[in-house]
Amino acid sequence: MFHKEGYKIIGVTFLICLGINLLSIYFIEKTWVVQLILALSIIIFILILQFFRNPKRGTIIDNYQAVAPVDGKVVVIEEVFEKEYFKEKRLQVSIFMSPINVHVTRHPVSGKVTYSKYHPGKFLVAWHPKSSEENERTSVVVKNEQFGEVLYRQIAGAMAKRIVNYAEEGQEVIQGTDSGFIKFGSRVDVLLPLNAKVDVSLNQKVKGGVSVIAKL
């Protein structure tokens, strides 16, 4: 199953690879060169397919826990002062996605979207300390009955050139469902209330919609 954000790119890549191979068969006499071009085309196409895969996840809905919004590795667990929305201290859990991870963003909690904003910006590497404030990003806040308001922030990295965010203010969302997509490498920060108990450790690999990152 592939994410809808990849349909166009997958189709264009297929047509380009097909065209290149047809031209190579017609114009290139050396068989090994034609075979090499075919092999490279197949590898490139498979890489594009795996990047836009959208596996179904069996999220267990629980208002007393927050799940990872994306696949990747936990790179930050710390108390920070959140400047954009809360303007107070929050627990931050950051997850870094490599190009080989699934890049679907999922809602970490169920509830009502109270804030959704896009910020243009730079494309610093996603693990840069200032990427949360200076990179292109979107911030979404979901109000949950038990957790209160939870903010998650999609952050573009050096390779990510487009963030897709489906969350709209006033929308009711369900934990683990699709909330967006980040193309080609990035990071997501989750800002939790201080009374939340973080349930992951640094460098731990997590799965979006499945791995529990915090509990009340």
Phi/psi at 199 (nearest 5 deg)? Answer: -115, 20
* Residue 63: φ, ψ to 5°: -70, -5
Q: Which residue has the higher pLDDT, 76 or 184?
A: 76
Kindly report, residue by residue over 102-145, the tens digit of the pLDDT.
889 999 999 999 999 998 866 565 555 555 666 788 999 999 98
Catalytic residue list contains 139: no
Second-level CATH architecture of 65-215: Distorted Sandwich (2.70)
Provide the token pair at 198.
């973080």
Among 139, 186, 201, 211, which one carries the catalytic annotation? 186
Question: How many other C-beta atoms can be found within 10 angstroms of the C-beta atom of residue 158?
Answer: 17
Return the pLDDT at 188: 93
Indicate the pTM of the whole model.
0.82
pLDDT tier at 159, thresholds 50, 70, 90: low
pLDDT given at position 132: 62
What residue ranges do the domains of the chain occupy?
4-51, 65-215
CA proximity to 193, closest of 144, 138, 133: 144
Cβ atoms within 10 Å of 86's Cβ, excluding its own? 16
Mean pLDDT of the chain: 89
3-state secondary structure 65-80: EEECCCCEEEEEEEEE
Q: What is the mean pLDDT of residues 60-71?
A: 95
In the β-sheet with 65-67, what is the strand arrangement from edge to edge? 65-67, 212-215, 197-198
